[in-house]
A and B are shown apart, each in its own frame.
Chain A
Amino acid sequence: MNDKIVFGQYYQSDSWLHKLDPRVKIISVFSLMISLFIIKNIYLLLGFMFLVLLVIASTKIPFVKFLNSIKMMTFVLLVTFVLQVIFRRDGELLKSFEFNLTYMNLVIIIVSLFVWFLINKYIKYFKTFVFLVIVLALFILQYYVSYSPLIVKYNINIYSNGLIMASYIVLRIITLLFLSSLLTFSTKPIELNNGLDYLLKPLQKLKVKTSIFTMMVSIALRFIPTLILETEKVLKAQASRGADFKEGKLSARVMQIVSLIVPMFVIAYKRAYDLADAMEARGYIPEGKRTSIYELKYKFLDYFSYVIVFLILAITIFLRVKYAL
């Protein structure tokens, strides 16, 4: 339990990206994402990725943090890659592997998977990695060992286009994750909300109450740490009354969780009423005109970023339309 609750992924720094107007960052990330999906050529994609990496390098945010953000997706990325490589069947044939599924191999496969399910609770680090090693080992086994009677013989063919397509998709997802991480690492949630408030302003002409929406978002953001603290308190209070959230039967545990949820509802309601009263006491009117302490004003760097980003978007669209790249 940390006494400082850090919400979101914001990384404190004083780089140019941190100083950029949140509106610019939001619009830039969106338009860069669009160009990312327009690009069809893998070399162009590599160039684009290189640009993103350059931006990352210039922001003083440790690269490990970006790697962490793709860590959760590793499994999905690997599965996509493998499926693409196996099932794509155009371009020239690079290599063909022949696997023999024999009775003995089948038994070994089943036993090792069973063992995996038994022991995977006790593995703390590199769980996915260990699993992949096991799967790979099972395929190697099928490639080399073929003593007992054969069940079926099958081929896995790897084609050049499959390889290219697979890396194209994986690279695209990684770049996408990097882009969105750039936004969340360099912008506080409250700044994001403020930027969104400005960006949504034109909608007010259509009688959409955008200020209410952004106020709701900022209140929700404000309350997350408070509610976490309150939850911790109630959790401790119930634990000292013998509530056990970790052990025991499922039905008993559900009961224990009720003992946590009910007080949390009561506290949340009470807090909400208090806040509503406090806001009214300070003259809050939902549709009233308000000024912000963080007045957003475009500076040179902001205009410059807009130009660069829209240039990139325009180039990618042009290349796609003209040369189908």
Chain B
Amino acid sequence: MAINLSKVSFAYYVPRKKKNIKYAVKDINLSIGDKDEFITIVGHTGSGKSTLVQMLNALLIPTDGCIDISGKIISKKNENKIKLKEVRKKIGLVFQFPEYQLFEETVLQDVCFGPKNFGITDVTSKAKKALELVGIKEDIYNESPFSLSGGQMRRVAIAGILASEPNILIFDEPTVGLDPLGKKELLELLRKLNKEEHKTIILVTHDMEIVGEYSKRVIVLDNGDVVYDGDKTELFKNEKLVKEHSLDLPNNVKMLKVIKEKLSLDNLDIYKYNTYDAYDELKRVLGGNNE
């Protein structure tokens, strides 16, 4: 296991009277592997998702408890001893609206910024590889990043993180503000990174479609607590939990549920997240009739 959180709490402000402390994240125990995981973190606004994610990248140091990132311990005690760069090299964090972190004169130079800081060799080839991965064509490598469209800027910014080749990639609501096609392309890219390069992907999102279609494991946060950690289908089956934490079912599941109820198809498996899977399932149950 690559990341281990044990009893991690975080408060943005520690008052003099310890009683009045308000934790953004409280007593969290988690372990996340550095290979092949595809995790989504859900929970309503203010539930501590962003705080948790920033702690994984050592941008915030936990107030209590410690985080073990492949052998490197991050806690308040050894705050000054942590080699932040080594941690951040292994874990790439893409913030919401990452296009605001672009600053260099050309696209290629900007993508090189990360790897250069981490002291990685053959920076340019890695940057080019990352740009190719996100689908940026070679003819705009030398253009200013500020002359690009919004979607392109975001892809360049993401390439800037990919270029340092982290094992774990964290995305904080990456699809906000993208058009449907851009969203789909980005998510397919993440799936590709997960399947072909065996990277662990952690997604913070509000979108239940993403949870259903892409993730393997779901972590539900509420009020700074982990209230659910496990398989997505198990989560959706537990309707009480879904309702309690103001979550929702993916559209496909909702539709299949209605079909199951109205046509009283008892053996229909409603937990099919992809439209084609849903179609196949319906076909199976209805015996190849018209849909």
B228 within 8 A of A: no
Q: Which of B114, B118, B146, B160 contacts A266 (CB 8 A)?
A: B146
**Residue pair A240, B57 in contact (C-beta under 8 Å):** yes
Q: Which stretch of B62-70, B88-96, B268-276 is in the interface?
A: B88-96
B279 within 8 A of A: no
0/1 string, B18-56, CB within 8 A of A gives 1: 000000000000000000000000000000000000100
0/1 string, A225-258, CB within 8 A of B gives 1: 0000010011011111111100000000000001
**Residue pair B102, A236 in contact (C-beta under 8 Å):** no
Closest Cβ of chain B: how far from A3's Cβ, in Å? 5
Interface residues of A in 209-235 (CB under 8 A from B): 230, 233-234
Q: How far is the CA of A62 from the CA of B59 in the complex (A)?
A: 36
A1 within 8 A of B: yes
Residues of B within 8 A of A289 (CB): none
Residues of B within 8 A of A237 (CB): 95, 98, 100-101
**Residue pair A233, B95 in contact (C-beta under 8 Å):** yes
A155 within 8 A of B: no
Residues of A within 8 A of B54 (CB): 236
Q: How far is the CA of A230 from the CA of B97 in the complex (A)?
A: 12
Q: How far is the CA of A60 from the CA of B95 in the complex (A)?
A: 44
Q: How far is the CA of A258 from the CA of B101 in the complex (A)?
A: 11
* Inter-chain contact total with CB atoms closer than 8 Å: 64
**Residue pair B100, A241 in contact (C-beta under 8 Å):** no
- Known: A240-B88, A242-B85, A242-B88. Is A3-B101 also a contact (CB below 8 A)? no
A173 within 8 A of B: no
Residues of B within 8 A of A240 (CB): 57, 59, 88, 92-93, 95, 161
- Known: A1-B12, A233-B95, A236-B59. Is A242-B164 also a contact (CB below 8 A)? yes
**Residue pair A242, B118 in contact (C-beta under 8 Å):** yes
**Residue pair B103, A259 in contact (C-beta under 8 Å):** yes
**Residue pair A259, B113 in contact (C-beta under 8 Å):** yes
Residues of A within 8 A of B160 (CB): 241
- Residues of A in contact (CB 8 Å), total 23
- Known: A258-B103, A259-B103, A266-B146. Is A241-B95 also a contact (CB below 8 A)? no
Q: Which of B12, B103, B117 contacts A244 (CB 8 A)?
A: B117
**Residue pair B59, A241 in contact (C-beta under 8 Å):** no
Residues of B within 8 A of A267 (CB): 100
Which residue on A lies nearest to B100, using beta carbons? A263
**Residue pair B164, A241 in contact (C-beta under 8 Å):** yes
**Residue pair B89, A242 in contact (C-beta under 8 Å):** yes
Closest Cβ of chain B: how far from A234's Cβ, in Å? 6
Known: A240-B88, A241-B101. 14 other contacts (CB 8 A): A2-B12, A2-B13, A4-B13, A230-B100, A236-B59, A240-B59, A240-B95, A241-B114, A242-B117, A242-B164, A244-B117, A259-B101, A263-B103, A266-B100
Closest 9 A/B residue pairs (Cβ): A242-B117, A262-B103, A241-B114, A237-B101, A240-B93, A3-B12, A242-B118, A237-B95, A259-B103
Which B residues form the contact surface with A (CB < 8 A)? 12-13, 54, 57, 59, 84-85, 88-89, 92-93, 95, 98, 100-103, 113-114, 116-118, 146, 160-161, 164
